[in-house]
């Protein structure tokens, strides 16, 4: 496929997957890319509702850019084999019809199901946001002692490893896995330092890259109702605070980690490599 597929995944809810997915989508649209979005989290549907709210706002402000969005509803009312076969056919047909896009952004549920695993196996990049908490860390790794020296991959890490193998078998593709600590508190803490130490050790062991996420900000919850982001010119940010500027920089750093440049440019044409539209 020509499209670059970015999957937001974590088997725990409330980590900011949909918010990150939406901001990445709008940033790519603003840079001139053709973006398709897919929500395989049909039960929760936060990503779909966000885009639905954005589409309503577009009726008032036509200059707002909206992705080509699909909510993928999986079959559930049959035997496991039949359900998985039907869901696989639906997903693969959707992938075929999205070949012409530059990016496909997929949001997955905070749980383990077949469609989520299938989406992970098609990813070029998996982005796993987690809260600044050892509770969230438990989905990635089991810390066996108080010194955090004995680490064992946990359920989600093992699932990602399985999908990496599926990708290799299917087309010899490689999945770049990025873990970021999201919804961080504004003030550093011993908890954060200990968490980062464990993540660094784990990243070397099971193969993911670390990136910075978003700090906890009220503005993200406020923007959801209109489907806007901190990148939209007509968002309620006429009085830009240092917090809002910092939030844009956090997104800029994520795009830098993904090595995404404005369409038609190359990394050596810009010192920052990424230009975030205002």
CATH number of the domain that 91 lies in? 3.40.50.300
In a domain, 48, yes or no: yes
In a domain, 275, yes or no: no
State the residue range of the domain holding 254. Answer: 4-269
Average pLDDT over residues 195-213: 82
β-strand partners of 212? 181
Q: Which of 23-32, 123-132, 183-192 has the lowest mean pLDDT?
A: 183-192
- Give dist(CA 224, CA 241) in Å, integer: 19
106 has pLDDT over 90: yes
Position 241 scores a pLDDT of 65
pLDDT band at 128 (very low <50, low <70, confident <90, very high): very high
In a domain, 277, yes or no: no
In a domain, 57, yes or no: yes
In a domain, 262, yes or no: yes
Position 95 scores a pLDDT of 93
Q: Which of 1-5, 68-72, 233-237 has the lowest mean pLDDT?
A: 233-237
In a domain, 274, yes or no: no
Conformation bin of residue 20: beta by default, left when phi > 0, alpha when psi is -120 to 50: alpha
Position 267 scores a pLDDT of 47
DSSP state of 269: G
- Give dist(CA 63, CA 150) in Å, integer: 53
162 has pLDDT over 50: yes
> What is the number of structural domains in the chain?
1
Position 14 scores a pLDDT of 80
Position 81 scores a pLDDT of 87
Report the share of the chain in percent with pLDDT over 70: 84
The Cα-based distances of 233 to 92, 229, 246, 250, 275 in angstroms read: 36, 9, 16, 18, 15
Position 236 scores a pLDDT of 55
Count other C-beta atoms under 10 Å from residue 1's C-beta.
15
User: pLDDT: is 36 or 113 the higher one?
Assistant: 36
36 has pLDDT over 90: yes
Q: What is the mean pLDDT of the chain?
A: 82
β-bridge pairing 103-107 and 4-8? parallel
In a domain, 276, yes or no: no
pLDDT band at 271 (very low <50, low <70, confident <90, very high): very low
Average pLDDT over residues 208-235: 81
Q: Which of 24-33, 66-75, 132-141, 148-157 has the lowest mean pLDDT?
A: 148-157
Average pLDDT over residues 31-57: 92
Provide the 3-class DSSP secondary structure of residue 270: coil
Position 144 scores a pLDDT of 61
Position 215 scores a pLDDT of 77
User: pLDDT: is 267 or 7 the higher one?
Assistant: 7
- Give dist(CA 273, CA 278) in Å, integer: 16
Provide the 3-class DSSP secondary structure of residue 29: helix
In a domain, 278, yes or no: no
- Work out the end-to-end distance of the chain between its first and last CA atoms, rounded to an integer number of angstroms: 31
pTM for the structure as a whole: 0.86
């Amino acid at each position: 496929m020509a499209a670059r597929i970015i999957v937001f995944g974590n088997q725990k809810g409330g980590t900011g997957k949909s918010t990150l997915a939406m901001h990445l989508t709008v940033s790519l649209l603003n840079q001139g890319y053709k973006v398709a979005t897919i929500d395989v989290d049909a039960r929760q549907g936060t990503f779909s509702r966000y885009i639905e709210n954005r589409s309503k706002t577009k009726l008032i402000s036509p200059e707002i850019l909206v992705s080509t969005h699909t909510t993928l509803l999986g079959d559930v009312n049959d035997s496991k084999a039949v359900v998985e076969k039907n869901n696989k056919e639906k997903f693969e047909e959707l992938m075929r019809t999205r070949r012409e896009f530059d990016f496909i952004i997929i949001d997955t549920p905070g749980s383990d199901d077949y469609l989520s695993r299938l989406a992970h196996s098609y990813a070029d990049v998996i982005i796993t946001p987690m809260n600044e908490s050892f509770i969230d860390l438990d989905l990635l790794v089991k810390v066996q002692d108080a010194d955090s020296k004995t680490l064992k991959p946990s359920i989600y890490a093992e699932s990602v490893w399985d999908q990496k193998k599926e990708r290799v078998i299917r087309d010899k593709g490689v999945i770049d896995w990025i873990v970021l600590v999201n919804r961080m508190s504004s003030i550093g803490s011993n908890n954060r330092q200990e968490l980062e130490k464990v993540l660094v050790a784990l990243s070397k062991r099971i193969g993911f890259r670390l990136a910075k996420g978003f700090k906890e900000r009220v503005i993200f919850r406020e923007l959801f109702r209109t489907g806007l982001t901190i990148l939209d010119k007509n968002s309620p940010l006429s009085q830009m605070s240092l917090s809002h500027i910092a939030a844009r920089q956090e997104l800029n750093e994520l795009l830098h980690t993904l090595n995404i440049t404005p369409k038609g440019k190359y990394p050596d044409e810009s010192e920052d490599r990424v230009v975030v539209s205002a």
